Structure 1
Amino acid sequence: MSSVRPYRQILRRPSRQIMVGSVPVGGDAPISVQSMTNTKTTDVAGTVDQIRRLEEAGADIVRVSCPDEESTAAFKDIVRHSNVPLVADIHFHYKRALEAADAGAACLRINPGNIGSEDRVREVVRAAKANGCSIRIGVNAGSLERDLLEQYGEPCPEAMVASAQRHMAVLQDNDFQEFKISVKASDVFLAVAAYMQLAEACDYPLHLGITEAGGLRGGTVKSAVGMGNLLWAGIGDTIRVSLSADPVEEIKVGFEILKSLGLRHRGVRVISCPSCARQGFDVIKTVETLEERLAHIATPMTLSIIGCVVNGPGEARETDIGLTGGGSGSHMVYVSGVKDHTINDETMVEHLVSMVEKKAAEIEAAKAEEAEAPAAE
């Protein structure tokens, strides 16, 4: 069916679907958002606490590093306390993958460049099969196999795809299809080119990421440019934003990237102006406060905060709730695009928070009623 607004239409690349625990990845499943804990895995309480915070932020999947035997022992306890599927991150020691699979990992992330021989990969496949977990082939530009570096001279898209295909073949030869693939690089151009080539070369689900992207601001920009480019082209089935920041920020940024492309909707999307001399209230402070106060809302909604009447009424027409700055501290509030009432500076924030919470509750109640209707019939 043709879209009313074809310029907004993104046609996702057809891919197989696998399961990461209870979360489907690929096919027609929503693009999942994930992050990774940065606590010591042996600190069970600290790691579980961070996983809970990630769950509250909307994480679909969480990855936990298992660098040693003590970590995989702790991982077993962590799995029992997690409400989202956990991916065990494995480097160098293939036995950690065997232990993590037995400990309840929903997925094993292995890096072909440092996991070892094909025999070791086969051992990992056997453990995955026995425990019903999936695998992510995690190719990284910084740890490509030596022979591929010698063949291609440097990390390049062709070398990264060749690495992925080599290890895809090992899994396929062992009659294992429950895997996804990533070809990450810190260089945006390299990562995007590698993913585009890989998308053409196979139909397995792809895990997107710009690795080692940097701090909160720089890493957000790099990730948005790289992953946004791929997602806009319909490539990508699950994403992780890699930031040198609180992992919760990775989830927030991931959802913002998806929301900006209309690929996933969670929480309040704020449309706001950069502010200028025409503003009728302090736009920047108001937006900062509202984003913080409304962070607990998971219901998809739109809220426009515009400082003056130049663009305010127009933006409000397209949002669930809108605020447009007026003169003498009296501002216009819009509901479903229609001017509804005015409000003053003193009560503005509290009033908008109350309106959003009430609207979210109404939306959720309507969803629940709709879900119950077929059962009643």
Structure 2
Amino acid sequence: MKRRKSDIVNIGNIQIGETNRIAVQSMTNTPTSDREATLRQIKQLEEAGCDIVRFTVNNMDAVRNIAYFRENTTIPLVADIHFDYKLALEAAHAGISKIRINPGNIGSDERIKKVADICREKSIPIRIGINSGSLEENILIKYGSPTPEALCESALMAAKTLERFDFNNIVLSVKSSDVITMIQANRLIAERSTYPLHLGVTETGTARYGIIKSSVGIGALLADGIGDTVRVSLTDDPVNEVKAANYILRSLKLKKGINLIACPTCGRTGIDLIPIANKLQDELDKITCDKQINVALMGCIVNGPGEAREADVGVAGGKGEAVLFRKGEIIRKINENEIIEILLSEIRQLL
């Protein structure tokens, strides 16, 4: 698919924009003042495949821990700033990789200028984070509600303010808990700006429903070539946000990894496929892979052999057994209780 051409922005050791790979972000949910708990979660997110980690900076204790995080991890770190612009200044001095501000609550242009000045001096990008729940009062009066046009105008006005202060190292994001509003707002910005876009549906709720809402919103835009970084926001363990984001990218062939193709089962299924598929997926999630590997787990002889032949490795189930395929060739029959172990062995040989 053709990607939208966006400006290049460097966030620590990660470069986004243009044809750079789409970065996965998440946010810690520990008090940033608790440096050990926060560092532990940062490392968990990195191990899960996160590229950029954001955390709240809501007091000086949080600021003081930035240097500690920097000493103990190389992943780019983003300071999430609300209300108190002075915390943004302190975070910049502390070595943060990026600063996220919300024009709806950061204050006057004079304050924004001070943040822009320090970020320019230290080559720190600023993400303008527009949220439907905290739009400026004048925008809400003009549009009556957080419409896509309102979100777009707020983001572009904030970008113009930074531009007036000779700052253009900018990432934009417009988020709403309404999927359609989020999609439409980002499409408007993509037409009117070349700044890289961070995508996310905000406040989606629990993983059960939130992953679906995020997949629809983020996926629709990525399929149009729009988006440079993504976050799946869930009321859940942040590690699950990272897993979901990577699944979305892989499903659109925007990131390589192990792709499990498994049939939905029907009355013809000859093996106990559902627990096998879940156990296999749990094991695959533990494997770090920078190659595209397709694994087929099929329950019967109708679509099974065809799907398995198209995969790098796969099985087609029979009655209590399965046929093992490797790159389209039948290898041998295996017992049902061997499927997971043998597939994992085959996959490891492909890594």
Query: 1:277 aligned to 2:304?
Result: no
**Which residue of structure 2 lines up, in the alignment, with residue 185 of structure 1?**
176
**What letter matches 1:199 in structure 2?**
A
Distance 1:57 1:249 in 2: 9
Alpha-carbon shift at residue 346 of structure 1 (Å): 2.6
Post-superposition Cα deviations, 1:10-64, rounded to whole Å, max 9, x if no partner, equal: 2111111111111011111001111000011111111111111111111111111
Task: Judge conservation of contact 2:92–2:124 (CA < 8 Å) in 1.
Answer: yes
Candidates 179, 203, 216, aligned match of 2:194: 203
Query: 1:298 aligned to 2:291?
Result: no
**Which residue of structure 1 lines up, in the alignment, with residue 162 of structure 2?**
171
Q: What is the 5 A alignment of 1:17-28? A: 17-28=8-19
**Which residue of structure 1 lines up, in the alignment, with residue 311 of structure 2?**
319
Post-superposition Cα deviations, 1:110-153, rounded to whole Å, max 9, x if no partner, equal: 01111111111111111212222111000111100001111111
**Which residue of structure 2 lines up, in the alignment, with residue 107 of structure 1?**
98
**Which residue of structure 1 lines up, in the alignment, with residue 133 of structure 2?**
142
Post-superposition Cα deviations, 1:202-256, rounded to whole Å, max 9, x if no partner, equal: 0110000000011101100000111111111111010000000110111111011
Distance 1:188 1:280 in 2: 40
Secondary structure of 1:183's partner?
Answer: strand
**What letter matches 2:306 in structure 1?**
G
RMSD (Å) for aligned C-alpha atoms: 1.1
**What letter matches 1:27 in structure 2?**
E
**Which residue of structure 1 lines up, in the alignment, with residue 299 of structure 2?**
307
**Which residue of structure 2 lines up, in the alignment, with residue 120 of structure 1?**
111
Flag structure 1 segments of 5+ consecutive residues without an equivalent. 1-9, 361-377
**How many pairs are equivalent?**
349
**Which residue of structure 2 lines up, in the alignment, with residue 85 of structure 1?**
76
**What letter matches 1:119 in structure 2?**
E
**Which residue of structure 2 lines up, in the alignment, with residue 253 of structure 1?**
244
Alpha-carbon shift at residue 82 of structure 1 (Å): 1.7
Secondary structure of 2:116's partner?
Answer: helix
Secondary structure of 2:32's partner?
Answer: coil
**What letter matches 1:64 in structure 2?**
F
Distance 2:28 2:206 in 1: 16
Alpha-carbon shift at residue 292 of structure 1 (Å): 1.2
Task: Judge conservation of contact 1:270–1:303 (CA < 8 Å) in 2.
Answer: yes
Distance 1:21 1:178 in 2: 13
Distance 1:200 1:330 in 2: 54
Distance 2:281 2:321 in 1: 22
Task: Judge conservation of contact 1:206–1:237 (CA < 8 Å) in 2.
Answer: yes
In the superposition, the TM-score normalised over structure 1's length comes to 0.91
**Percent identity over paired residues:** 44
Task: Judge conservation of contact 1:136–1:179 (CA < 8 Å) in 2.
Answer: yes
Query: 1:40 aligned to 2:31?
Result: yes
Distance 1:342 1:137 in 2: 56
**Which residue of structure 2 lines up, in the alignment, with residue 370 of structure 1?**
none
Task: Judge conservation of contact 1:55–1:83 (CA < 8 Å) in 2.
Answer: no
**Which residue of structure 2 lines up, in the alignment, with residue 363 of structure 1?**
none
Task: Judge conservation of contact 2:271–2:321 (CA < 8 Å) in 1.
Answer: no
More off after superposition, 206-215 vs 269-278: 269-278
**What letter matches 1:25 in structure 2?**
I
Candidates 276, 293, 305, aligned match of 1:286: 276
Alpha-carbon shift at residue 337 of structure 1 (Å): 1.9
Task: Judge conservation of contact 1:87–1:109 (CA < 8 Å) in 2.
Answer: yes
Task: Judge conservation of contact 1:255–1:265 (CA < 8 Å) in 2.
Answer: no
Distance 1:34 1:337 in 2: 37
Alpha-carbon shift at residue 185 of structure 1 (Å): 0.4
Distance 1:71 1:117 in 2: 24
